[in-house]
Homo-oligomer: A and B are copies of this chain.
Amino acid sequence: MKQSMTLIPTLREVPSDAEIKSHQLLFRAGFIRQNASGVYSYLPLGKRVLHNIEQIVREEMDDTGAVELLMPALQAAELWQESGRWYTYGPELMRLKDRHGREFSLGATHEEVITSLVRDEVKSYKKLPLTLYQIQTKFRDEKRPRFGLLRGREFIMKDAYSFHASQSSLDEIYELLFQAYTNVFMRCNLDFRAVIADSGAMGGKDTHEFMVLSDVGEDTIAYSDTSNYAANIEMAPVVVNYEKAEEEEKTLEKVLTENQRTIEEVSSFLKVDSTKCIKSLLFKVDEKYVLVLTRGDHEVNDIKLKNLFEAGSVELADPEVTTEVLGCPIGSLGPINVEQVEIVADFAVQYIANGVCGANEENYHYVNVNPQRDIKVSRFADLRFIQEGDPSPDGQGKILFAKGIEVGHVFKLGTRYSEAMGATYLDENGKAQPMIMGCYGIGVSRTMAAVAEQFNDEKGLVWPANIAPFELHLIAINMKDEEQAKLANELYSFFKQERFEVLFDDRAERPGVKFADSDLIGLPIRITVGKKAVEGIVELKVRKTGEMLEIHKDQLLDTVKQLLSNL
């Protein structure tokens, strides 16, 4: 494509509202423009990147046997009333009325529409399993849209839904989709992890998030430095083999710790390591209070606490309530002689020897605490967040933390929607059964931003070749020079004919402007036609490495092919 005929409005300044690299660069390089908060136009370059990602997604989905369809954005309220989400989805769901006053939502997700479709058209186990997907614009009225395409209100998503007659069939398709997602993000050259995520009551194995590692991510991932283990930090079990210090149990003793309240203050004041301190926190677990103990250097993971009690809700008790229940301000809280509430403790607490804890009396702590001797713990369990340096739960390597951008999600839905909406099939015995469902999403426009976030340098974007809007950036230094114009045009025709995607900067701009724009846009290979055009020699630059070489046009094709295969 000739640059003079398209719209690539590059900018030198960083827009004031763009906080992160991908937003800044996609804007500055003319890939996107904002229409309203969280609502964007994809300009020609942006549209091409979207298309490339969509094609990768489509190919990988098709390979699993999933079938593409297209559902509408306008969704009748009645459907969402059937599932119940009309009342529970909240203000993220955009709603409107048609001219006759009928209520609609604007598609935020399509479980209701697809479940109603399959309910109406599939009646027999013989037609299952069935996996359907679409690539489509979605609408979610985010409270605070930000980070450009990372958190928008109108965005492009691939969503897939599978329907099954058995759990094992769901497990099988889930595995296929999991692998397809892995392929998609690998082909996008992303540094990502498939992360075990929270699936609520369904158990940790039934949902994975695909997270692109990035400092601007809003989730924390715990991953192994050795294996491919990764989990949302909330979900990672702790599998440390704690050992008790080999020291004699000393006599419990109450000591004055005036104005020492936090673990830090107490450990420093008493000159003991925080690993020897016992932290006591009062939680409200559903309707009852529970005292939860962890080591001073650990944090309570309330999801684990919730799962331990199979509770609906878990929250830290207010300081006032805590004081009321335990008769002591929170700075001196402790478990010894506590009878009024149940006490649970993280495994690590069990191994503390001659430790420290609050005395349930203001300004006093106990020293020489030996939990098994001194504290009435009802259950020891894994109750803390994993930490960097902990062994990986799969037994391979140590845990590291990273921030992640969620670009994909695979989820075993079970019968949540089929039961609510009556989507049943007849089994081999002619008996109606609710279909078992899975759902699988990829944020297509978000993936574009994630790639931009991972692939850039101080000069601009650095696209991987298979995502780049064009493979080659052909630049004529001076289009008024006859030799240069001739060779540039010749190369443009040649590479197009060889089925390369070429952006040809034929503009009447200064070379400095062209080079700066070229670096900003970030196509993998730049071919510059300059003064040596008369000898048939051009300059070739690899955007990623900065490598430059002069080359005769006769060697150009082979060199370009070889370079691209590594980008």
| A254 close to chain B: CB less than 8 A | no
A33 within 8 Å of B (CB atoms): yes
A298 at the interface (CB under 8 A from B): no
Are A69 and B98 also in contact (CB < 8 A) when A33-B117, A36-B74, A117-B33 are?
A: no
Contact A96 B94 (CB under 8 A): yes
When distances are taken between beta carbons in the complex, the residues of chain B under 8 Å from A75 are 35
Contacts of A73 on B, CB cut-off 8 Å? 73, 137, 139, 154
Min distance, Cβ A411 to any Cβ of chain B, angstroms: 21
User: A200: CB under 8 A from chain B?
Assistant: no
Q: Place the interface of chain A in its size category.
A: 35 or more
Q: Once the chains are docked, how many angstroms separate the CA of A42 from the CA of B135?
A: 12
Question: A91 at interface (Cβ–Cβ under 8 A)?
Answer: yes
Contacts known (A35-B72, A96-B94, A104-B36); A130 close to B41, Cβ less than 8 A: no
Closest residue on chain B to residue A79 by CB atoms: B35
Report which A residues bind B (CB closer than 8 A). 1, 4-7, 9, 33, 35-36, 39-44, 46-48, 50, 65, 67-76, 91-92, 94-96, 98-99, 102, 104, 106, 113, 117-118, 120-122, 126-127, 130, 132, 134, 137, 139, 141, 143, 153-154, 508
Query: What CA separation (Å) do A54 and B159 show in the bound complex?
Result: 21
Contacts of A143 on B, CB cut-off 8 Å? 99
| Given A33-B117, A91-B99, A98-B153; A39-B74 close (CB under 8 Å) | yes
- Distance of A5 Cα from B102 Cα, bound (Å): 35
On whether A6 and B41 interact (CB within 8 A), knowing A72-B154, A96-B95, A104-B36, the answer reads no
Cross-chain contact of A153 among B40, B74, B139, B508 (Cβ < 8 A): B74
Report the bound CA distance from A91 to B4 in whole Å.
40
- Most chain B C-beta atoms within 10 Å of own C-beta, residue among A46, A72, A132, A141: A72
- Interface pair B154/A41, CB less than 8 Å apart: no
Contact partners of A72 in chain B: CB under 8 A: 35-36, 39-41, 137, 154
- Cα(A108)–Cα(B126), bound, Å: 42
- Cβ of A5: which chain B residues have Cβ within 8 Å of it? 65, 67, 130
A39 to B71, CA, bound (A): 9
Contacts known (A36-B104, A74-B35, A98-B153); A67 close to B139, Cβ less than 8 A = no
Contact call B74/A154, Cβ cutoff below 8 A: yes
A104 nearest CB neighbor, chain B only: B36
Nearest chain-B residue to A134 (Cβ)?
B47
User: Separation in Å of the A344 CB from the closest CB of chain B?
Assistant: 40
Give 19 new A-B contacts, CB below 8 A, not counting A6-B130, A36-B74.
A5-B65, A7-B118, A7-B132, A9-B122, A33-B120, A35-B75, A36-B102, A39-B72, A41-B70, A41-B113, A42-B71, A44-B67, A44-B69, A47-B70, A74-B139, A92-B99, A96-B96, A96-B106, A98-B153
